[in-house]
Amino acid sequence: VLVVANPANTNALILKEFAPSIPEKNISCLTRLDHNRALGQISERLKVQVSDVKNVIIWGNHSSTQYPDVNHATVNTPAGEKPVRELVSDDAWLNGEFISTVQQRGAAIIKARKLSSALSAASAACDHIRDWVLGTPQGTFVSMGVYSDGSYNVPAGLIYSFPVTTANG
């Protein structure tokens, strides 16, 4: 089950609590929208294709409290894979404007369009399900809100966005 409706993390946790017959490993929530937005910000900044950027992490909730993290992100360049931090070479932007832009992107779209970013969410849901079912490419992780087992010092029992790799559904 992929929970998209906001607040996505909370709704996924409510689903887990009130539908105990669904195994917790079969419930996730959409933070791929935020993940895709972060990839887009990096690709725009570096003037590269989005498909050349990988391993951005969205930590936390699908909300303005999330933490977009590029510390493991890389870009495919003609000279091979390079760290995003090295290529951007602007920690002030990465630690400031980049984070706030990703955190606030949904609100900015609603303010500008007077409508939600429904098509972006639908595309992100497709990306999420594709990777969940078909697996993530070797060496690539994506962001998914999943049930915490206590990894990364995130309390067990929360639905939280982590870096995730998937295989065989």
- Give catalytic residue positions: 62
Q: Which of 143, 116, 121 is nearest to 132 (CA)?
A: 143
Residue 95 burial by Cβ neighbours in a 10 Å radius (0-12, 13-18, 19+): exposed
In terms of Cβ atoms closer than 10 Å to its own Cβ (0-12, 13-18, 19+), residue 52 is middle
